[in-house]
Structure 1
Amino acid sequence: MKGMNWIVKGSSVVLTLAFLAGCASTPAGPDSDFSGLYSGKSDLTFSTLMPIESAAEGIARGDAARARGELDQAIFEYIRTLELEPNNPESFYKIGAINLQKEELTKAHTAFQSALENDPDHAGALEGMGLVLMQMRQPERARIVLEKAVSLDPKLGKAHNALGILADLRGDFGRAAEHYNDALMLSPLSARLQNNLGYSHYLSGEWDLAERAYLAALNVDPWHQRAWRNLGQLYTRQERYDEALEVLTEVMSEAEALNTMGYICMSGERLEDAEKFFTRAAQASPSYYVTANENLEQVRRLIAKSGS
């Protein structure tokens, strides 16, 4: 297995920060040499902030701003800590975490990479890098990084959830369930985790366990749309059609629910049932007439083909 070759030595960001370290008394701000880490409000917005005396103070101020939801100011404060301590991995990690939250993946990648150059065993930065790599559609690299993260800190719930998703993608459902359960030990009231566990059981054919997990998700969050949809899909696959319709109409119109059930039946090659649901969908709503009838024509072609 190849090593983690994503860590680029001699990052230009680190070199730039090192150059600025001698003039920390005049904060540069996000609009100067930190474009690789920040995109947001101009540094003029924060020109009235008091200077910081230490990196610890800057991190504390950044944490307080982040807790208030002022993400741009939080990054500004973390960058000021880097002007005092250019190799502070915690500051880079926190900048990366906010950029990940803002879906600024390139900037998050740059920040996490810089954190790991200064501390290769920073578990939080490893988790963040793994999540970025997942969103960049690099699952194998993400898995390597995330596994190192949880080996250093088993209490990283996001990493366990991500590893569960990656295990599902490669068909290792047993390992996926282990990671989801590890995450649930840390966040037992997470509807998202229960739903992910349920879908993993659904994929592996353990439908009773899937139902139990979906219901647990809805017990935590009765408005969790994905769990309602997944439960409706499960009931349709089990031919529990009345229950499926009842469940799906919690989050969609009757016509959309019937069309969804028809599509699931068609995918499962239950063509007569699919025809029935598409017909009912077309009758249920004029706005759904075209869509349902297109599906109905398709399923009738499949029925004719299977009978020829």
Structure 2
Amino acid sequence: MDFGGMSCNFKLMLFASFLATGLLATGCGGQRFQTPNIDSQYRKMLELQQQRSNFSKEERELEKRLPEGSPELYERLGDGYLGQGNQAMAFIEYSKALRVDPKRLSARQKIGYLLLKRDMYAEAFKEFDAVVTAQPKNAGALQGKATALLHMNRLDDARQVLSAAIEAEPALWQAHILSGIIHDRKKEFGPATEAYRKAISINPKSALAYNNLGISHYALGNYRQSAEALLTALNLDPSSKKTYNNLGLALFRMNMYEDSLEAFKKGGDEASAYNNVGVLYLKDGQHEKAIAAFEKAIELKPSYYVTAQSNLEKARAALKADKGPFPGSPCQLPAN
């Protein structure tokens, strides 16, 4: 989608068509870069577990013949619980399997996955590291280890492990997204866009990759490219308010102020939308417009008074002192 060369009216009409089809909705203060969902990183493993109910009669009979207390039985029970969404019981059964057979790497890898789900990153790292030590080319375990390292802010170590994961399985698109996030955190926005484009080339339906690509372009000041990527992300996943928020910011930087306001409205309500654009006007030193936006937010939603009133006072003080843009903004994109 190309905004270049369009007249202002045509761009507004185009944007209105997106609103009409329900592609936009946003809120302020969303997360900047989104990491791959843990479940999606282990989709192949989960698909096998979730197909438990479709096992053949012969396989079910084989399971019944597994000796009680065997690691195979415990792991299968864990798979069944995980397929049902019962992570606590799955963890217990996988742990039983490891107690019987500490070298059962498949159960250990699944425990690592569950620890990631619990945000227990140091513990997850230990489990994945044990798997990788025994199986250096296990791409799933390498990616799990890198995910844990990323959350532990060990970016250089995570990057090294991701390189090994991608070498072992080049089609691992989530690994390319994680690589892009590391580049972004290091403010290497150009290489970040390359990583996200690689992920998109493997999985063109990844709204996550398009969202992060849009934010990297935003950081580079490429607001048109940012909006294009974010609109594609929203077309793939219209429910992501974080992406809608990012789009609102990109449109504001394209001087499409009314469109930015409409995007913010779609993500929250009218009062919060006016507060959001007021913050952006304030940051740009457009104090009178900021004051008008904050006053509108207070008028529309008295319960929003505290936040909007605080911002209004800052805008009035800045206008009176004529000190230029206010340095802070609750709507700025977070660092990660």
AA aligned opposite 2:104: N
Quote the residue 1:106 is aligned against.
Answer: 122
Deviation at 1:230, TM superposition (A): 1.0
Q: Secondary structure at the match of 1:249?
A: helix
Specify which structure has the bigger relative contact order, considering alpha-carbon pairs within 8 angstroms and separated by 6 or more residues. 2
Quote the residue 1:10 is aligned against.
Answer: none
Q: What is the root-mean-square deviation of aligned Cα atoms in Å?
A: 2.6
Aligned to 1:173, which of 167, 181, 189?
A: 189
Quote the residue 1:78 is aligned against.
Answer: 94
Identity of aligned residues (%): 33
Deviation at 1:266, TM superposition (A): 2.0
Separation in structure 1 between the aligned mates of residue 194 and residue 88 of structure 2, nearest angstrom: 37
Change (3 A) 1:69 1:197: same
Superposed CA deviations along residues 135-161 of structure 1, whole A, max 9, x for unmatched, are: 222222222222222222222232211
Quote the residue 1:201 is aligned against.
Answer: 217
Separation in structure 2 between the aligned mates of residue 53 and residue 245 of structure 1, nearest angstrom: 61
Separation in structure 2 between the aligned mates of residue 296 and residue 213 of structure 1, nearest angstrom: 33
Quote the residue 2:165 is aligned against.
Answer: 149
Q: Could you tell me whether the CA contact under 8 Å between 2:70 and 2:100 is conserved in 1?
A: yes
Q: Could you tell me whether the CA contact under 8 Å between 1:89 and 1:116 is conserved in 2?
A: no
The answer to whether the aligner puts 1:140 opposite 2:156 as a matched pair is yes
Aligned to 2:307, which of 262, 286, 291?
A: 291
Deviation at 1:271, TM superposition (A): 2.9
AA aligned opposite 1:222: P
Deviation at 1:250, TM superposition (A): 0.8
Q: Could you tell me whether the CA contact under 8 Å between 2:67 and 2:73 is conserved in 1?
A: no
Moved more, 138-147 or 91-100: 138-147
The answer to whether the aligner puts 1:227 opposite 2:218 as a matched pair is no
Deviation at 1:71, TM superposition (A): 2.2
Question: Structure 1: where are the runs of 5+ without partners?
Answer: 1-48
The number of residue pairs the alignment matches comes to: 261
Question: Structure 2: where are the runs of 5+ without partners?
Answer: 1-64, 325-336
Separation in structure 1 between the aligned mates of residue 217 and residue 223 of structure 2, nearest angstrom: 6
Deviation at 1:84, TM superposition (A): 4.8
Quote the residue 2:262 is aligned against.
Answer: 246
AA aligned opposite 2:276: T
TM-score of the two chains, using structure 2 as the length reference: 0.70
Quote the residue 2:234 is aligned against.
Answer: 218
Superposed CA deviations along residues 11-48 of structure 1, whole A, max 9, x for unmatched, are: xxxxxxxxxxxxxxxxxxxxxxxxxxxxxxxxxxxxxx
AA aligned opposite 2:139: A
Separation in structure 2 between the aligned mates of residue 77 and residue 294 of structure 1, nearest angstrom: 53
Change (3 A) 1:194 1:249: same
Superposed CA deviations along residues 260-284 of structure 1, whole A, max 9, x for unmatched, are: 1111222233333322322222222
AA aligned opposite 1:219: N
Aligned to 1:158, which of 174, 196, 199?
A: 174
AA aligned opposite 1:71: Q
Separation in structure 1 between the aligned mates of residue 144 and residue 285 of structure 2, nearest angstrom: 41
Deviation at 1:292, TM superposition (A): 1.4
Deviation at 1:87, TM superposition (A): 2.3
Deviation at 1:75, TM superposition (A): 2.9
Q: Could you tell me whether the CA contact under 8 Å between 1:232 and 1:247 is conserved in 2?
A: yes
Aligned to 2:296, which of 260, 280, 288?
A: 280
